[in-house]
Amino acid sequence: MLNSKFTILSVLALGGFAGASPYYTECLCTHGDPCWPDAATFAQLESQVSQPLIYPLPTASACYPAANPSGNCSEVIENWTDAPNFETFEFKNGTISACYLNTSLGVPCEQGNVPVVGVDARTPGDIKAAVNFAVKYNLKLVVKNTGHDFLGRSAARGAERLQTKHTKVALSVAIGVPMKAHPAMFTAVTLGAGVQWHEAYDAVNQYGRMMVGGASLGGSVGAAGGWLQGGGHSALSPTYGLGVDNAIEITVVISTGELLIANKYQNSDLFWALRGGGGGTYGIVTSVTYRTYESLPVAFYLFQANFTDTTAMKELIAGMLQFQTNLTDDGWGGYAIMNNTSMYFFTIAPNMSTEAANASTQAWTDYASGLQSQGVTSLAQIYPIPSWYEWYTTLFSSPGQNGGNTMLTSRLLSRDTLANQYEDVAEILVDFQGSFNMIAGGKVSQIDPESAGVNPAWRNAVVEAVCGVSWDEGATSKEIEEEISQLKTWISALNDVAPNDGAYFNEASLFEIDWQTTFFGSHYSQLKDVKDKYDPCRLFVVAEGVGSEEWNNELTCRL
Shared domain check, 450 and 377 = yes
The residue segments making up the domain with residue 225 are 172-294
pLDDT number for residue 363: 95
Helix (H) or strand (E) holding 478: helix 477-497
Picking from 294, 321, 339, the residue at the C-terminal end of a domain is 294
The answer to whether the beta carbons of residues 266 and 340 sit under 8 Å apart is no
At residue 211, does pLDDT exceed 50?
yes
Question: Where a domain ends, among 247, 273, 294?
Answer: 294
The 3-class SS string of 92-130 reads CCCCEECCCCCHHHCCCCCCCCCCCEEEECCCHHHHHHH
pLDDT tens-digit profile of 72-113? 999 888 877 655 568 889 999 999 999 999 999 999 999 999
Mean pLDDT of the chain, nearest integer = 88
In a domain, 500, yes or no: yes
User: pLDDT (tens digit, 9 = 90+) per residue, 287-345?
Assistant: 999 999 999 999 999 999 999 888 999 999 999 999 999 999 999 999 998 888 899 98
Q: What is the CATH number of the domain that holds 193?
A: 3.30.465.10
How far is Cα 167 from Cα 164, in angstroms, rounded to an integer? Answer: 6
**pTM of the entire structure?**
0.91
Q: For residue 251, is it within any domain? A: yes
Residues 393 and 491 in one domain: yes
Would you say residue 329 lies in a domain?
yes
Task: Write down the pLDDT at residue 25.
Answer: 60
Tell me: do 282 and 306 sit in the same domain. no
**172: pLDDT strictly greater than 50:** no
Rg (CA), the chain: 24
Strand partners, 306: 342, 377
Residue range 518-551, pLDDT digits in tens: 999 999 999 999 999 999 999 999 999 999 999 9
Residues 326 and 446 in one domain: yes
Instruction: Tell me the residue length of the chain.
Output: 559
Q: What is the percentage of the chain residues whose pLDDT exceeds 90?
A: 72
Same domain flag for 251 and 329: no
Dist CA 250 CA 282 (whole Å): 12
| Burial (Cβ within 10 Å: 0-12, 13-18, ≥19) of residue 71 | middle
Residue at 212 is within a domain: yes
pLDDT band at 514 (very low <50, low <70, confident <90, very high): very high
* Cα–Cα dist 35/517, whole Å: 37
Task: Choose between 416 and 221: higher pLDDT.
Answer: 416
Average pLDDT in the 220-227 region?
89
Least Cα distance to 299 among 348, 345, 333, 332 occurs for 348
- Specify whether 419 is located in the same domain as 316: yes
541 assigned to some structural domain: no
Judgement on whether residues 443 and 468 belong to the same structural domain of the protein:
yes
Together in a domain, 316 and 224: no
SS3 of residue 4 by DSSP:
coil
pLDDT band (50, 70, 90) for residue 148: confident
Domain boundary residue among 260, 294, 328? 294
Instruction: Establish if 555 belongs to a structural domain.
Output: no
Identify the residue with better confidence: 74 or 349. Answer: 349
| Residue 24 pLDDT | 47
What is the total count of domains within the chain? 2
